[in-house]
Amino acid sequence: MSLDKNTVIGFILIGLVLFVFAWLNRPDPAQLEAQQRYMDSLARVEYARQLEEEMSKVVEQPALSSDVRADVPDSLREVQRVQAYGVFAQATEGTEKFVTLENDKLELKITSKGGRIYSARLKEYKTFDERPLVLFDGAQESSFGLTLVSATNRVVGTDELYFTPVESADSHSVVMRLTLGEESYLDFHYTLSPDDYMVRFAIRGTGLNGVLSPNTNSLDLQWYQKARPLEQGRKYENQYTGLYYKYASDDVESLNAGKDDEEQISNRLKWIGYKNKFFSTVWIADDAFFATRLQSKQLTESEYLKEFTATTSVAFDPASPEPVSFRYYIGPNRYQLLRTYDRGLPSNQALELDKLVPLGMKFLRPVNKYFIVPIFDFLGNHISSYGLVIFLLTLIVNIILFPLTYKSLLSSAKMRVLRPQVEAITAKYPKQEQAMERQKATMELYSRAGASPMSGCVPMLLKMPILFALYQLFPTSFELRQESFLWAKDLSTFDPVITWDFPIPFISSMLGNHLSLFCLLVTIVNLIYSKFSMDMTNAGQQQMPGMKMMMYLMPLMMLFFFNQSSSGLSYYFLVSMLITIGLTFSFRFFVNEKKLLLKLEENKKKPKKKSSFMQRLEEAQRMQQEQLRKQQQQRSGQQRRR
């Protein structure tokens, strides 16, 4: 067949176009390398499949059995292991080795079995009984593992496999390598920063495309840890020990610390924290955790307080060289320290680890955060004795609240000087059915004189948020931990003056097996002050039945509330009560009650415009009185008919 000139030119042009197109679309070296890795992974998968087929002909054993019999020859055991674990088989046997990472604050032991953190010791602190402060140690107290699925559907947890430590020039870092083939491995990178409690942790895969299941786009992880008792007083330490977590773009929450609890969370989480009263282990994702199940279990019959379990997932691409990065915070719950990890971060990226310190509910937390804590920290930075710090803090708080205290004392004084007139009203209307007239006349007296029973209560109510805020702060203030003052060896816990080893029904469950001296002093002083206060504030009115008993019962209740709590808190209440008593006596000494009475008598002469509140109160009294009259008339009519 002959070709004319134009046909030849056409073929030449077509060939030239194909050559240029092939040249422009040729793969670069990186693509060639990736393609070669992919082909190699396919070859490894095919080799593993053929090997398993051959072995299945030799030994009739369920392919997914995880039990490798030890009573068979080594060659047969190897066959069984490969059948059970596939590409993971070579990592199922080994010798456990440990690598230690440490700085001035932390000592971490990393084990080759599972490639995880085996133990954590905080070098600057000790337990209440002077032992080294170890948060967890050994497989019984903690575990961590990933669930891996091979391309041949073998499922295994990394906690069952042996990693190989890879030497590093940096003494503050180590790589634990799980070898899955000649050029396939999974690395756990640990890096401990100098002079810090934060540990960097990264999971990086190499050559895993084709080794792991082609459906792999995430890793399932399980993290387990028991909470050791580290402080004196199991009850209160257990109360502040719990599982906390932060949503990726929302607030910090926690499981119920008072009972077994669990939560299935579909939203993304930023971190999960296992918290003791004063120390925490927090696992922080650079991206996020998802599909998370959290569990907290009470261990009442154990030497441990609680056990925590987190089952979660993170995004993971076996073909990507990019690692999945995390951080571990393993350290104290110091409020100011935890806040430093948010410096320079926008608010929507803040870790908010400081919320591991329970400063109170949402409406109380600002009182501690912006008022109490700054004063407390300022004093603590300049004064070495925290007993003196608490005393000065109490003094400052009482000075700031003095205007409210003054109004309360002035109201009590007004009620006291009007007492004879109130008693005269009571004598005028002595009968029970005259209660409404008696109450109305008393309220008119107070209104004309410019006195009100409520004016003494309102200032006390305004002081309550600060008292509740301090109640939350002192038991969990790290600064008070193991700080001694007078007879108290540790202001963060109770100060026993009397102890016993045998259980006393009801008493031991409420008080524990001890009596705390600061708490006992608060109770005694409060009882004396209650008696004195009732005598001072008696306005001549009839008291409700049982009111006197309630006034004595409340101080006794404090003994049950605070006997197992922080001695620093009881000491604060003791100092605050003594200051209040001192102010009360000083007010009686400096205020001339005769002049005060003259002033109230002058107020009676002035025309008074009733407030809307008083008008509503009088209207309510009038309606109540009218209803009472109708009831009395009905009873009288019934008696006459009988």
Residue 2 has pLDDT above 60, yes or no: no
What is residue 398's predicted lDDT score, i.e. its pLDDT? 85
DSSP string, 584-633: HHHHHHHS-HHHHHHHHHHHHHS--PPPHHHHHHHHHHHHHHHHHHHHHH
How confident is the model at residue 155, as a pLDDT? 86
124-151: average pLDDT: 91
pLDDT at 584: 82
- Cα-Cα-Cα-Cα dihedral sign, residues 169, 175, 181, 183: negative
| Cα–Cα distance, 625 to 434 (Å, whole number) | 9
CA dihedral of residues 536, 539, 541, 543 (deg, nearest 10):
-30
d(CA 498, CA 490): 16
In percent, how much of the chain has pLDDT > 90? 31
**Regarding predicted confidence, which is higher, 39 or 155?**
155
Question: What is the rounded CA–CA span in Å between residue 376 and residue 476?
Answer: 13
**pLDDT digits over 397-407, tens only?**
888 888 888 87
Confidence tier at 473 by pLDDT (50, 70, 90): confident
Residues in the chain: 642
pLDDT at 337: 93
Q: Give residue 638's pLDDT.
A: 65
Residue 457: per-residue pLDDT? 65
| Model pLDDT, residue 51 | 42
> In the structure, what pLDDT confidence band is assigned to residue 294 with cuts at 50, 70 and 90?
very high
Higher pLDDT, 625 or 564: 564
Model confidence band, residue 315 (pLDDT cutoffs 50, 70, 90): very high
Q: What mean pLDDT is reported for the chain? A: 79
Residue 28 pLDDT exceeds 90: no
Model confidence, pTM? 0.75
Confidence of residue 61 (pLDDT cuts 50, 70, 90): very low
Whole-angstrom CA distances from 88 to 92, 148, 230, 413 are: 7, 9, 39, 84
Q: Which residues contact 434 (CB under 8 A, 6 or more apart)?
A: none
Evaluate if residue 205 carries a pLDDT over 70. Answer: yes
185 vs 162: CA distance, rounded Å: 12
Give the tens place of pLDDT for each residue, 226-243: 999 999 888 888 989 999
Taking the C-alpha atoms of residue 514 and residue 48, their distance in angstroms, rounded to an integer, is: 67
Which residue did the predictor score with more confidence, 430 or 397? 397
d(CA 225, CA 441) in angstroms, rounded, equals 68
